[in-house]
Amino acid sequence: MCAAVMMLTACGGGGGDTSPSASMAGASTLLAGTEVGAASGFSATLGSAPADGSYVCSTATLEVRGSGIRNVELLPSGSYTPIYSSFTVSADGTTARTQFDPKNFPNGELQVRISAFNAAAGQPAEEIVVMPARTWKIANNTWPCASPGSSGGGTQFTASLISAPATNTYVCHMQTLEIRGTRLANVELLPSNSYTPILGKFTVSDDGKIARLQFDPRKFPNGDLKVRISAFDAPAGQPANEIIVMPERTWRIANDTWPCLSPGGNQPPGPFSAQLTSAPGNGSYVCSMVTLEVMGARIKNVELLPPAGYTPIYGSFTVSDDGRVARLQFDPRKFPNGDLKVRISVFDAPAGQPANEIIVMPERTWRIANDIWPCLSPGSTTAGNPGT
């Protein structure tokens, strides 16, 4: 474990608005590396969540992995109410996920924690605080989350981190790293204390306001990777001012090992199973290439489809040889602007053969907005309504 973990007797979340000091009375603190809940088989670790201090500009996937998990909740930093979100827990108790939508919260700082429990909500349970208190900066329709024309823009060189894994988290699958600012000319993922080797070069929008990189952990060996993100106001190789938008963080690469695979993940796969790992939330604007990902066992075919049919096939995923991971790069430029209703279905046989189906993503609406507000585009200077 990357940080001290608190275990205590609680009521599975929703256990009353007990003060933090009273809640923690008699709790034991397990130090880094401790086998959490070894006796009971209950363990939990954070898989994915915005880092402390991050601006949260769009729907984010929160993920917890472990064993014996029965309930996971996004909560205020010092109480059990209100419950901001209840995670969907897999039947085997190894994975829990929820979609955090900042539009459900007012702008400003939101202090949250994530707690996992080994019993259903309302029942006596042990608690693991898998994510101690973090502050997320909600900035709906304001800088730096807003489109061109929002306050805070201008001609000065600026850069802010929007999305990147937190320090000491396990990086299990493709992650979108995003920077927003003004006069961005070059953004690089670098070692924590040098300029070489360049671990990744961001794609910068023509107006210099957004830079994104799809970070693939499979390109790196397992173990700790110490990185930073630097933004520059001139192209690579030219004299430039530098803003270190993400100081040193340690990402734990764990390709094909626990906790990026469920317990026993290195053994032959079990029954046909599938879960959605990454996809835009319902109602999201899709402004650029995004990675869709499904993980499971005995996967043979995964398709992006209309919500109530099997044609047309909007996209066929690339499935790993071991049938555990399937990914698709979704390009909104292949679709007209407007609402696109989709689902994701997983099959245990190749396309065209009789198969069992798991609908890992029921109907969602994605808002395609190529080259119009609120998706940034070259030459865009004013905000407005989609389609203007």
Residues 255-266 have a mean pLDDT of 61
Residue 215 burial (CB < 10 Å; 0-12/13-18/19+)? buried
Q: Looking up tokens 């803003």, which residue turns up?
A: 243
Rounded-to-5 percentages of helix, strand, coil across the chain: 5, 45, 50
Within the chain, which residue ranges are assigned CATH 2.60.40.2840? 273-368
Q: What is the DSSP string of 28-83?
A: EEEPTT--TTTTTT-EEEEEE-BPTT-EE-S-EEEEEEEES--EEEEEETT-S-S-
For 79-105, how does the pLDDT look when each residue is reduced to its tens digit (9 = 90+)?
A: 899 999 999 998 889 889 999 999 899
What pLDDT is stored for residue 155 in this prediction?
61
Within the chain, which residue ranges are assigned CATH 2.60.40.10? 5-138, 158-253
Q: Which of 113, 123, 138, 140 is nearest to 44 (CA)?
A: 113
Starting at the edge strand that comes first in sequence, how are the strands of the sheet with 210-215 ordered? 158-163, 175-182, 210-215, 203-204
Radius of gyration of the chain (CA): 21
For 195-226, how does the pLDDT look when each residue is reduced to its tens digit (9 = 90+)?
A: 999 999 999 988 888 899 999 898 999 999 99
Q: What CATH architecture does domain 5-138 belong to?
A: Sandwich (2.60)
Least confident of 45-49, 132-136, 247-251, 265-269: 265-269
Highest mean pLDDT (candidates 8-12, 39-43, 173-177, 254-258): 173-177
Residues 372-388 have a mean pLDDT of 47
How would you label 367-380 residue by residue, b for 16+ Cβ within 10 Å and e otherwise? bbbbebbbbbbeeb
Contacts of 234 (CB under 8 A, 6+ apart): 185, 186, 240, 241
How would you label 283-308 residue by residue, b for 16+ Cβ within 10 Å and e otherwise? ebbbbbebbbbbbbbbbbbbbbbeee
For 62-71, how does the pLDDT look when each residue is reduced to its tens digit (9 = 90+)?
A: 889 888 999 9
Residue 55 CB neighbour total at 10 angstroms: 20
Q: Which uninterrupted H or E stretch holds 20?
A: helix 20-23
Tokens of residue 15, six digits: 């256990």
Q: Which of 84, 58, 99 is nearest to 277 (CA)?
A: 99
Q: In this structure, which amino acid lies at residue 198?
A: I
Higher pLDDT, 269 or 118: 118
Residue 130 CB neighbour total at 10 angstroms: 28
What pLDDT is stored for residue 379 in this prediction?
47
Q: Given pLDDT bands bounded at 50, 70 and 90, which one contains residue 146?
A: low
Percent pLDDT > 70 in the chain is 80
Starting at the edge strand that comes first in sequence, how are the strands of the sheet with 200-201 ordered? 169-171, 242-253, 223-232, 186-191, 200-201
What pLDDT is stored for residue 5 in this prediction?
36
Mean pLDDT of all residues belonging to the chain: 79
- What's the CATH fold of domain 158-253? Immunoglobulin-like (2.60.40)
Least confident of 169-178, 216-225, 375-384: 375-384
Q: What is the 3-state secondary structure (H, E, C) of 103-144?
A: HHCCCEEEEEEEEEECCCCCCCEEEEEEEEEEEEEECCCCCC
What pLDDT is stored for residue 350 in this prediction?
92
- What's the CATH fold of domain 273-368? Immunoglobulin-like (2.60.40)
CA–CA dist 98, 79 (Å, integer): 20
| pLDDT value at 38 more than 50 | no
Residue 20, φ and ψ in degrees, nearest 5: -55, -40
Residues, the chain: 388
Q: In this structure, what DSSP letter does residue 21 have? A: H
CB 50 within 8 A of CB 109: no
